[in-house]
Amino acid sequence: MGRPDLIAGLASDTAPQASQDGPLPMIVGPARPDPRVLARMAEPARPLTDDAFIAEFAGCLRSLRLIAGAPQALACIVPGTGTIALESVAVSLLAPGRRVLVLSAGWWGDVWHDICVSCGFRADRLSLDIGADWDLGLLADTLAAGRHQAVLVTHVESSTGCRADIAAIAQVARSQEALCLVDGIAALGAERVALEQWEVDAYVASPQKALAAPAGLALTLLSDRAGELLAKRSWRAPSFSQDLARWLPVMQAMREGRFSYFQTPAGNLIAGLATALDLILGEGTGARAERHRRLRRRLHAGLAGLGIKPLVTSELISSNAITACWLPPNWTAASLVSALAEAGVLVQTGTHPAAGTATFRIGHLGNVSEADIDRTLDALGLVIGAA
């Protein structure tokens, strides 16, 4: 894969690395791609009908299924963003007139609720307290009472760093004959994901988070049940360009080595994604999730030493990709972020709808190393010690 002259010197080293210019971005994406990913993106785009392009596209579909623990799933890779993928799942699978239940643990849960409302669906919302886990009994009762068509849930909520137990939530959804649709944008590439075992109907990802690939693609994995619904749906989706029923035949053709067109695929992004996904499979999805868990534990131990408290403290629901923290005394989020930037480390202000201004966020997803965690902790210690 790739032009040897562009990737010379890197080819023998398969462990994912991050490009290393400028301050250290400990943010919730875009993650720093490996230099081999950047090199592939700089290649002239191939003609879309070229066999080599189709093979690379099919390879991306396959890698995505493997990374999501769903070798048989229907994978879709289309131009867009994670948000576009969330909207496409809603407009493609939700039935007008039926109620849906959105589980919101913060900013992104609220966004998915807004998406449903904007698209005209009848969306109810259950909200989660910061630091708490979902009450499965309450979920079952709510679904039974509301006869919802689907449960929409965020795997890792980036505004709090809370991870939902998708296996358990999908089981409750199934017991109430509801679809389980998951925003996995901040999870895939950092957490253990086993969609087939969990029987999730739709799972959305975005390349620039823990997959450490270029932004600009909407990634979706669908179960057979979701595929059948798309094929048999009796209503018209309230979108043309984002209707997954129009995209699936294209994906199926590409998987079988034939070109098919609905909208122009993003050639250079596919090349970058192919390389990023190869690197993930080279590292091993289990090893990668374990690396992210180790990094989170190292960060949390260091934060405790500095007296800084994460919003989510229970191991069981702590994201391995993102840590949102309460601000140390006498700091605003903006002042802490700019002081850390001066010390060479980029973190982000909080985004939780209620607690955002009292929090800041550290992203530790993608090709982050232990040295990056230590550099972040050193900078934090220096900055708040000096205040």
Residues that bind ligand PLP (CB under 6 A): 28-29, 81-83, 108, 154, 158, 183, 185-186, 206, 209
DSSP, res 44: P
CB of 190 to ligand PLP, least distance (A): 11
Nearer to ligand PLP, 88 or 176 (CB): 88
The residue number whose beta carbon is nearest to ligand PLP equals 82
CB of 208 to ligand PLP, least distance (A): 6
The rounded distance, in Å, linking the Cα atoms of 302 and 307 is 9
- Cβ atoms < 10 Å from Cβ of 52: 10
CB 324 within 8 A of CB 317: no
CB of 322 to ligand PLP, least distance (A): 8
The rounded distance, in Å, linking the Cα atoms of 81 and 101 is 23
In terms of DSSP H, where are the helices of the chain? Answer: 4-7, 35-41, 51-67, 82-93, 107-118, 136-146, 166-175, 195-198, 224-232, 244-255, 267-283, 285-306, 333-342, 370-386
In this structure, what are the phi and psi dihedrals at residue 346, rounded to the nearest 5 degrees?
-95, 120
CB 39 within 8 A of CB 277: no
CB of 321 to ligand PLP, least distance (A): 8
CB of 88 to ligand PLP, least distance (A): 12
Q: Which amino acid is residue 378, in one-letter code?
A: D
CB of 87 to ligand PLP, least distance (A): 10
CB of 313 to ligand PLP, least distance (A): 20
Burial 241-255 (b: 16+ CB within 10 A, else e): ebbbbbbbebbeebb
**What is the edge-to-edge ordering of all strands in the sheet holding 322-326?**
322-326, 359-363, 348-349
